[in-house]
Amino acid sequence: MSIAKTNSAPVPANGPADRLFDVDIASFTGHATFLDMLLKVKPVDIDQDFSRRFQIIDGATYIATLKSDFDPSVMTKIVEHFQGDETKLDQTIDSIKGQTTTPGTVFNVIVKAASGANDPSKAAELIAPTLSLAANMGTTLHFGDIIVKEVGYAAPNATLPPDVTPEMTGRGYASELPARKLLDASDVDYLSEINQLLRPGATSDPRSFFPAIMDILTQCKATNIGALNDQAREGVGNFLAVYFAEADRNAMSDLKQHSWQKDLLHATCLGSYVAGTGSDTTRFWAEGPSGRSGIGETRAARRQLATQVCDALAKINPAVFNTLQSLIAGAIAAGGGDLFQQLANYLNDPNDSASVLANADKISDATTNFMVAIHDNASLIMNSGVPSNI
């Protein structure tokens, strides 16, 4: 969701001096961890983009862009809010074309115009980021063959309505051409993907999936992505789009609150076991008592199972366990046997970034070996008395 008014003067469209908000991860390779990169990109691009002025395009151009640049499911979800009538969507956007707005305020403009939608607010949540991207707003990040677009994240100086907090803003999309166009994968979408990627007999396995992720998280290296099959690239793309979004939300509070990127990485690692047993990783998503939903709602249950899984592997293959544990001790070694959580903590502590970068290859290899060992020994671990799922 993107609803805000800003206290500063909006940045002209395309940023100061018409610069592009475009980041190639290769410029950080070997010089920064993913966390380092995010903390550098956030104030320069992500936060500045929130208040960039742009003129709303006409309905026909918007719909054409949806069809050419986005996964078909994105268009389908939006049109469903207009009773499946594409013409109504066209007319809604035409009614506000030419108006000047920003990625941070366009939601307000759309929700007033979308009176013909089943739920104007929900329709505006989907239209606001895609309309901004169609007008060349947002920040584009290149991870080799994967393109991630992030848009609408609240800047530090944004004033939000009482019912909207900064971490509720923003949306991330990933494309893995030619296989798939821009898609804003949900938690459940991503969990379904890793369930397919890591299940027994899958055409992809942890030996290719985890190095692609870990090389990016440890040293911004995306060279492994080109060798992935389409299914694995789509999974990595969705991981990166969601991980960046959640890490940005964590950075909104100086890394003190909402560390949902850690939950995403933890769930991905635990997926090597749960999917390996043939169980369903989508159970990692849940609705909480407060009405919020997400992977974070199963944190306690996941950590309990992860500790059992890691303890079991420590007995089956102590060398693999000890190698990873020795590399990620860092300043936060309170994993309690849950190396997935210890890894997530280590990669997201700025105090450990220099150590992560210095040992990037070793950490990536050790993590991959650990996940492969868990995946390959999933049945043995389960037969030792460890539950197959949370």
Give the DSSP H/E element, type plus range, for residue 287: strand 286-287
Q: Is residue 129 within 8 Å of residue 184, measured between CB atoms?
A: yes
Check residue 28 and report its DSSP letter.
Answer: G
Domain ranges of the chain: 1-184, 185-383
In this structure, what are the phi and psi dihedrals at residue 260, rounded to the nearest 5 degrees?
-70, -20
Would you state the structure tokens that stand for residue 342, as one six-digit string? 């210890």
pLDDT at residue 334, rounded to an integer: 54
pLDDT tens-place string over residues 42-98: 999 999 999 999 999 999 999 999 999 999 999 999 999 999 999 999 999 999 999
User: Binning pLDDT at 50, 70 and 90, where does residue 332 land?
Assistant: low
Residue type, 357: L
Q: Residue 139: helix, strand or coil by DSSP?
A: strand
User: Binning pLDDT at 50, 70 and 90, where does residue 164 land?
Assistant: confident
Instruction: Provide Rg for the chain, Cα atoms.
Output: 21
pLDDT tens-place string over residues 20-29: 799 999 999 9
What predicted TM-score, i.e. pTM, was given to this entire model?
0.93
